[in-house]
Amino acid sequence: MKTKYINWLIYAVLMVVVVTWLGWGKPNKIIGMFFVSGLAVGSLYALGGIGLVVLFRATGVLNFANGAAGAAGVMTAWQFGQWGVWAPLTWAACILVALLISLFYGRMIAPLLAWREPVVKAVATLGFALIILGLVSFLWIDDPRSISLPTDKIGIKLLGLRVTATRMIVFLSTIGLVIAIYLFLGQTKIGLNMRALANDRDLSALIGIPILKVETIAWGLSGLIAGFTGLMFGDLIRLEPTVITFMVIPSIAAAICGRLDNLVVVLVGGLSMGVIESLLTLSPVLKGARPIAPFVIASLVLLWSQRGTQLTFGGRD
Amino acid sequence: MKKLNIMLSATVGFIGVAMAGQAAAAPSCGSNTGEAATGEPIIVGGIHGNAAPGDFSASTDAAAAYFSCVNANGGINGRPIDYRVENDQWNPELASQAAAKLVDDAGAVALVGNGSFMEMAVNAGTYAKANVMVMASACAISECFESSNIVSTNQGPLPSNLGATQYAQEELGATNVACIGLNIPNNGPWSCQPSIDLMKARGGDGSMALLNPGAPDVNSALLESIANGADTILMNLPAGLAIAVLKAAEEQDLRDSYNWIAPTPLYDLSVPEALGEYWDGKVWVNAELAPFHLNGADAQNWLAVMDSYANPNDPRDTFAQSGYLSARFFTDTMLAMDPAEVGDRAKVTDAIKSIKGLTSDLMCGPYYVGDSDFHMPNHAGYMLQMVGGGFKVVRDCYEFDSAYFEPHIALEKKLGLR
């Protein structure tokens, strides 16, 4: 417990040092704008990371196809919007498509790889992601597009930057999801089953846990989060399937921060990555390193937290 | 679904309307004999990039359509053009293989209609060594304009940025331009710097904010531009990224606080719809070739060729205009050669390097090549304002003012074009 508090203290001190260093000599208003902008991006990283961790904790699958499922969902929503479908139905379609894609993989493909190593399972989802991306790129040729939500029009000023209701929804949803999933895994029978499954699939089967049912629920939850994340990415980042598909990479960095287990650390890690990445823009020397910031941070967290202890990508191998 | 999307695309819809009044005209190609060429084929190559995240095949599609038309109308003195197209898939290794296949294995006399971010950087040296000319059409990087054996009908970002900056300085009161570009040395910094230099030469100031192509966060580049004191934001980006910047600006309600200008990539008729009413009348875009609604004779012929010989799904966009032009200029050059020499690569290269003063209403100035280490014949254009769900011309053909063009102007004088 003491080590835990020390780790959080070291984190807080490091963040203050990094923010002060990167913002040194800049007006507070400018630092504030970059800080808030970073939180907005970071909450998207965290949201993606949480979707990954939920599935990994229940099934042991690190799902690289989460972003592609979200991309397929949001492109469907855009298409329905072009056809004049009522906007809330298009959003529902986005989440439904991602859910179906996730369930398809979870029911049809994942069981075939259930006894393989975690790395094999992860690589299989990467292949699935590329297939989805190929199909989406075939259906929707490269063309300028955008999607907007009514909440984009509402906003408040925070540290000099206008923060829209959509960004606040993402931020609050991320925190809400962490709490909800924490309670779900800790307080419900399905949650208990999921934890048991993640711990030891063989033993769980022996004691009568309905593996297929529990895994299907996990894949469904993951699909719902992927659909919501895709819709938010499409609105707040870019409506480009490739970009949305590969947003899963910084999300994985956020998930790695939490060692694919601790949702609170995933949340804090994602937010910190967004803030540091944004503040690096203020450094003439380091701004070119912005794209690698999430991975450097994830590596440092991993090195720190793994000092002689457990594997993060372990399991049967 | 793909076809459906294309049909839904505003671009094609608009062109369709434009074509309705023009498609009746028969295309005019090459010798116009009306008889198919049956002699020994002349091999001509073309390389495009088509893979996620972008498709640059419009230029080779249009060149292929024009060559099909030429082949149906007598070819090159009775010899058909065997146009072979390769896709580099944005992969340097594939780009190198494609050039080797066309230049070394197939023995192409020239390459026409090339469009890529990649292959020119990889193959510029190969082309010079093999003494083969590339009449490219969709170029975006420095090697395409600063090499001995590549010449393009499109402008690329550098002149188009300059055109937009010049207009903003002269008409919109711009005093400090921030150029948001891609963090790719032979694209972003290369094409932003002359615009900054232009502003400084005119008593203003400028800066650049560079984005990683896959970066999710465009907000930081926008904030960086604002922090640099800009009053004008130049979005030197592919359309998708430029839209993301404008959406980030909309989120901050920055529309009326800055001038918003862009080079040609934002001249896409899907863009006004993607941006929505908020940006109506507030975005100015430079067009490197004639806007689609200006129906000059050659513009009409381009559409007639596309109608008769291209796939209905092939885009009718700026890169397609450019591909058509490269193919037409190449054909005109080949037809002017001694028929006995059209299969000889060295002679074809000499003939292409001798091109000067070819004109089209799709281009503002004359097309030329010349024997030099740089080629940028197209450095004049139009300025458009995004308004009413489309674009209107706010400045007709004008030449871009920059010290960068001093060697080009000297070459034009030497060739007697000025």
- Interchain CB contacts (distance < 8 Å): A and B: 114
Those of residues 217-236 in A touching chain B at CB distance below 8 A are 233
pLDDT for the residue A311: 57
| Domain co-membership, A64 together with A137 | yes
Whether residues B270 and A161 touch (CB distance < 8 A) is answered with: no
Q: What is the mean pLDDT of residues B392-397?
A: 96
Q: Does B395 have pLDDT greater than 90?
A: yes
Contact of A250 with chain B, judged by CB distance below 8 Å, is answered with yes
A2 within a domain of the structure (yes/no) = no
**CA-to-CA separations, B288 to A109, B279, B398, in angstroms, rounded:** 50, 22, 10
Out of A141, A152, A288, name the one closest to residue B5 (CB): A141
Residue A283 neighbours by CB distance under 10 Å: 15
Whether residues A238 and B243 touch (CB distance < 8 A) is answered with: yes
| Domain co-membership, A66 together with A140 | yes
Nearest CA in chain A to B247: A236
> Which residue's entry shows tokens 């090549």?
B369
| Domain co-membership, A239 together with A309 | no
| Domain co-membership, A231 together with A261 | no
Q: B5, B219, B268, B285: best mutation site toward chain A, by most A Cβ within 10 Å?
A: B219
What are the pLDDT digits (tens) for A154-213?
A: 888 887 778 889 989 999 999 999 999 889 988 999 989 988 887 787 888 899 889 889
The count of structural domains within chain A is 2
Q: A168, A232, A238: best mutation site toward chain B, by most B Cβ within 10 Å?
A: A238
A256 within a domain of the structure (yes/no) = yes
ipTM above 0.85, yes or no: no
Whether residues A242 and B53 touch (CB distance < 8 A) is answered with: yes
| Domain co-membership, A175 together with A270 | no
- Taking the C-alpha atoms of residue A85 and residue B416, their distance in angstroms, rounded to an integer, is 60
| Final residue in a domain of this structure, among A200, A230, A246 | A246
Band of the pLDDT at B154, cuts 50, 70, 90? very high
A1 within a domain of the structure (yes/no) = no
| Domain co-membership, A220 together with A80 | yes
Out of A26, A144, A277, name the one closest to residue B271 (CB): A144
Lowest model confidence (mean pLDDT) among A27-36, B58-67, B69-78, B131-140: A27-36
Those of residues 104-133 in A touching chain B at CB distance below 8 A are 133
Give pLDDT < 70 ranges for chain A. Answer: 1, 308-317
| Domain co-membership, A238 together with A305 | no
| Final residue in a domain of this structure, among A246, A262, A280 | A246
pLDDT for the residue A317: 40
Q: Choose among A241, A240, A197: nearest CA to A216.
A: A197
| Domain co-membership, A94 together with A231 | yes
Helix ranges restricted to H, B150-237: 157-171, 188-201, 219-227
| Domain co-membership, A148 together with A186 | yes
Identity of the amino acid at A266:
V
Domains of chain B: 2-156+293-378 (3.40.50.2300), 157-287+382-414 (3.40.50.2300)
A20 within a domain of the structure (yes/no) = no
Pairing of strands B115-116, B138-139: parallel
Average pLDDT of chain B is: 90
Percent of chain B with pLDDT over 70: 93
Q: What is the mean pLDDT of residues B172-201?
A: 95
Q: Does B103 have pLDDT greater than 50?
A: yes
Q: B2, B207, B217: best mutation site toward chain A, by most A Cβ within 10 Å?
A: B217
A139 within a domain of the structure (yes/no) = yes
Whether residues A141 and B215 touch (CB distance < 8 A) is answered with: no
A272 within a domain of the structure (yes/no) = yes
Contact A246, A240 (CB under 8 A): no
Whether residues A238 and B240 touch (CB distance < 8 A) is answered with: yes
pLDDT for the residue B220: 84
- In chain B, which residues have their Cβ closer than 8 Å to the Cβ of A133? 52
pLDDT for the residue B418: 84
What are the pLDDT digits (tens) for B16-52?
A: 434 444 444 789 999 999 999 999 999 999 999 987 6
Q: A22, A33, A143, A245: best mutation site toward chain B, by most B Cβ within 10 Å?
A: A143
Q: Does B164 have pLDDT greater than 60?
A: yes
Nearest CA in chain B to A237: B216
Whether residues B219 and A237 touch (CB distance < 8 A) is answered with: no
| Domain co-membership, A169 together with A274 | no
Whether residues B216 and A243 touch (CB distance < 8 A) is answered with: yes
What domain range includes position A197? 51-246
- In chain B, which residues have their Cβ closer than 8 Å to the Cβ of A35? none
| Domain co-membership, A278 together with A188 | no
| Domain co-membership, A148 together with A292 | no
What are the pLDDT digits (tens) for A199-235?
A: 787 888 899 889 889 999 999 999 999 999 999 999 9
| Final residue in a domain of this structure, among A246, A275, A307 | A246
A263 within a domain of the structure (yes/no) = yes
Interface residues on B facing A, Cβ-Cβ cutoff 8 A: 1-2, 5-6, 8-9, 11, 52-55, 183, 209-210, 212, 214-221, 223-224, 227, 239-241, 243-244, 247, 250-253, 268, 270-271, 274-276
A88 within a domain of the structure (yes/no) = yes
Contact B82, B98 (CB under 8 A): no
